[in-house]
Structure 1
């Protein structure tokens, strides 16, 4: 069985070594980088399953990099940062990160969170990787929405997690508590804000009328319902 590949981008050598040792002992392969430029160059030849990204990089804005990774790569993106302010966490999640871990951290917790994210991201054999609904196709193998004319719009891994929840349970009410449990998040204001942003972006990509969405309906005080008929292949 192929070992999942985790890339580590952090300018502190002690952090890189700590994470690499813990992950390799837990059964992961790792590649470590101290600069964003070297990390981005490596993406041309390597396809990571998970990207661990520090926000305070000497040669790049970490948040911009997170956003680009979320849109262009199929990898799970986890921020590891010394920035503990709620707004930093909210911004990171809004830009497409799947999780946010604050320094100092326990390496065992990082390993556990990575495993949880990989489990939630793994497609079930019954569901397949392509969902057709209301003139759209969602390609989870390449993170793209395809309209009836064949035009594709990319979505982030974080947006894909939410979309998959809806497509796996069409015409059923999903409460925020259910979504939080399925996505491995922690009930908090920042989680709720991140969910609102992801759903808003999905509606935009599905060309929904924000005042009267036809596919992803908000049931105020209860949760959300996806109203399309879904077939998987």
Structure 2
């Protein structure tokens, strides 16, 4: 599992970005300022840093220069400073990439994965998830029951179920679930998520009117229950 350090003083953006990358199986450290960033790095291994330049206690470019004197951990600058001079300064100070705000989480994910692949960091996790008598194989994208009967899933059903199965018990909002889709043809509305969940339940629940596997958390979203009685 790859580890990211997100350095961002916008609390909402920090929370949303962290949740998105956790959905994609990253371990996340967070900091809202330069001092916190340095503390995290003193005590933890980090595979990549995503760095905002506008921080409350120190200019991000100054922090970037400090980080470069301490090591060669890849750094992606994510900033509202959009001029060509700003981007050039970020790269000259040692950033591996520069992404202007506002940005799509998917684009940041692609850039992170591209850099990690070049540095040889593998973000693969276990390819098998087992839950409630089902076995989900992430490699061949199959789902089998304990009786070895296969449930035929569409691509989007598989992606959604995979996200839920990685973190049983965690509640995902409909908006977070929309973000798991890596292609432009994925669901773009919360209603589409509801429909996909309904179709999944028809394939894996014993009683779709009383689901025991994929649970609705009123007002919040969905979760995969930890056991059949939860």
**TM-score normalised to the size of structure 1?**
0.50
SS at match of 2:43: coil
Name the counterpart of 1:73: 71
Structure of greater relative contact order (alpha carbons < 8 Å, 6+ residues apart): 1
Please give the alpha-carbon distance, in whole angstroms, between the structure 2 residues aligned to 1:112 and 1:27: 14
Partner of 1:41: 39
Q: CA deviation at 1:100?
A: 0.4
Once the 2 structures are TM-superposed, how far is the Cα of residue 47 of structure 1 from its aligned partner?
A: 1.6
Q: How does 1:48-67 map to 2 (within 5 A)?
A: 48-67=46-65
- CA RMSD, Structure 1 to Structure 2 (Å): 1.2
**Which structure 1 segments of 5+ residues have no match?**
124-233
Query: Map of 1:27-176 to 2, 5 A cutoff?
Result: 27-122=25-120
Query: 1:70–1:77: 8 Å Cα contact kept in structure 2?
Result: no
> Aligned-pair distance for 1:70?
2.3
Once the two structures are superposed, residues 83-136 of structure 1 have per-residue CA deviations (whole angstroms, 9 ceiling, x without a partner) of 10000000000010000011000001111100000111229xxxxxxxxxxxxx
Counterparts of 2:65 and 2:119 in 1: how far apart (Å)? 18
Structure 2: gaps of 5 or more residues:
122-230
Return the alpha-carbon distance in structure 2 between the equivalents of residues 61 and 71 of structure 1: 16
Residues 50 and 75, structure 2, Cα contact 8 Å, conserved in 1: yes
> Is 1:79–1:92's contact at 8 Å kept on the other side of the alignment?
yes
SS at match of 1:74: coil
1:26-70 superposed Cα distances (whole Å, 9 cap, x missing partner):
111101111111111121111210101100111011001112212
Contact conserved, 1:69 with 1:77, CA < 8 A, in 2?
no
Displacement of 1:81: 0.3
SS across alignment from 1:104: coil
- Partners of 2:29 and 2:40 within 8 A in 1: no
What are the Cα deviations for residues 196-223 of structure 1, in whole angstroms up to 9, with x where unaligned? Answer: xxxxxxxxxxxxxxxxxxxxxxxxxxxx
How many residue pairs get aligned? The number is 121
Cα deviation code 1:176-204 (max 9, x no counterpart)? xxxxxxxxxxxxxxxxxxxxxxxxxxxxx
User: Which structure 1 residue ranges, 4+ long, deviate > 2 Å from structure 2?
Assistant: none
Hey, what's the Cα distance between the residues in 2 that align with 1:82 and 1:117? 21
